Amino acid sequence: MTLSTSHPYRSSLDVAAIGNGRIAALIDQSARIVWWCFPRLDGDPIFCRLLAGDEEKGFCDVVLDGQVSASSYYIRNTSILETILIAENGASVKVTDFCPRFWRYDRPFHPAQLVRRIEPLRGRPRISVRVRPTSNYGQPVTNSSYGSNHVRYLCGSSSVRVTTDLPVSYIAHETSFSLTHPATLVIGADEPIESSIDSMSREFLERTRDFWVTWVRGLAVSYEWQPEIIRAAISLKLCTYEETGAITAALTTSIPEAPNTPRTWDYRFCWLRDAYFVIRALNRLGATQSMENYLDYITTVVSDTQSPLKPVYGIVHNDAAQESIAPHLQGFLGMGPVRVGNLASDQLQHDAYGSVILGVAQMFIDQRLPRMGDVSLFRELEYLGEHARRLYLEPDAGIWEYRGRMRIHTHSAVLCWVACDRLARIATLLGLGERAVYWKESADKIRAEILSRAWSDKRGSFTGAFDHEELDASVLLLADLGFLPPSDPRFVKTVNAVGRELMRNGLMLRYAAEDDFGLPESAFLACQFWYIDALESVGRKEEAHGLFCELLKKRNAFGLMSEDLNPATGQLWGNLPQTYSMAGMINSAMTLSKTWEDAWSSVTPKHDVNPIEQERAEREPSSAGLHLPRRSLNVS
CA–CA distance, 222 with 217 (Å, rounded to integer) = 13
The answer for residues whose C-beta is within 8 angstroms of residue 459's C-beta and 6 or more apart is 469, 471, 497
Instruction: Tell me: cis bond preceding 611? Omega within 30 of 0 counts.
Output: no
Residue 613 in this model has a pLDDT that exceeds 90:
no
pLDDT number for residue 544: 97
Residue type, 148: S
Q: Which of 33-37, 150-154, 342-346, 561-565 has the lowest mean pLDDT?
A: 342-346
Residue 228 in this model has a pLDDT that exceeds 60:
yes
pLDDT number for residue 602: 63
Confidence class for position 633, pLDDT limits 50, 70, 90: very low
pLDDT number for residue 319: 82
Confidence class for position 304, pLDDT limits 50, 70, 90: confident
pLDDT number for residue 156: 80
Confidence class for position 157, pLDDT limits 50, 70, 90: confident
For 15-74, the pLDDT digits (tens) are 999 999 999 999 999 999 999 999 999 999 999 999 999 999 999 999 999 999 999 999
pLDDT number for residue 305: 64
Mean pLDDT of 182-192: 95
Mean pLDDT of 441-453: 98
Q: Which residues of 13-38 are buried (b: 16+ CB within 10 A; e: fewer)?
A: bbbbbbbbbbbbbbbbbbbbbbbbbb
Q: Which of 384-388, 549-553, 598-602 has the lowest mean pLDDT?
A: 598-602
Mean pLDDT of 433-462: 97
Residue 7 in this model has a pLDDT that exceeds 60:
no
Confidence class for position 3, pLDDT limits 50, 70, 90: very low
Nearest to 536 by CA among 495, 580, 490: 495
For 276-285, the pLDDT digits (tens) are 889 889 999 9
pLDDT number for residue 515: 78
pTM of the model: 0.91
Residue 517 in this model has a pLDDT that exceeds 80:
no
CA–CA distance, 211 with 209 (Å, rounded to integer) = 5
Mean pLDDT of 550-558: 95
Confidence class for position 1, pLDDT limits 50, 70, 90: very low
CA–CA distance, 30 with 328 (Å, rounded to integer) = 25
Helix (H) or strand (E) holding 169: helix 168-173
Contact 33, 50 (CB under 8 A): no
Residue 612 in this model has a pLDDT that exceeds 50:
no
pLDDT number for residue 28: 97
pLDDT number for residue 610: 53
For 230-259, the pLDDT digits (tens) are 999 999 999 999 999 999 999 999 999 999
Nearest to 309 by CA among 220, 415, 393, 234: 415
Helix (H) or strand (E) holding 382: helix 375-391
List the chain domain ranges.
Answer: 14-216, 218-592
pLDDT number for residue 12: 78
CA–CA distance, 85 with 542 (Å, rounded to integer) = 42
Contact 502, 469 (CB under 8 A): no
Kindly state the percentage of the chain with pLDDT values over 90: 79
Nearest to 206 by CA among 267, 309, 117: 117
Mean pLDDT of 320-325: 86
Confidence class for position 503, pLDDT limits 50, 70, 90: very high
Confidence class for position 604, pLDDT limits 50, 70, 90: low
pLDDT number for residue 69: 96
Confidence class for position 331, pLDDT limits 50, 70, 90: very high
**DSSP characters over 79-93:** S-EEEEEEETTS-EE
Domain range 218-592, CATH architecture: Alpha/alpha barrel (1.50)
Q: Which of 316-320, 391-395, 466-470, 544-548 has the lowest mean pLDDT?
A: 316-320
Residue 466 in this model has a pLDDT that exceeds 70:
yes
DSSP 246: E
How many residues are recorded in the chain?
A: 636
Cα 375 vs. chain centroid, distance in angstroms?
34
Confidence class for position 346, pLDDT limits 50, 70, 90: confident
Mean pLDDT of 97-120: 95
pLDDT number for residue 595: 82
Confidence class for position 11, pLDDT limits 50, 70, 90: low
DSSP 266: B
Q: Cα angle at 31 between 328 and 340, to 5 degrees?
A: 25
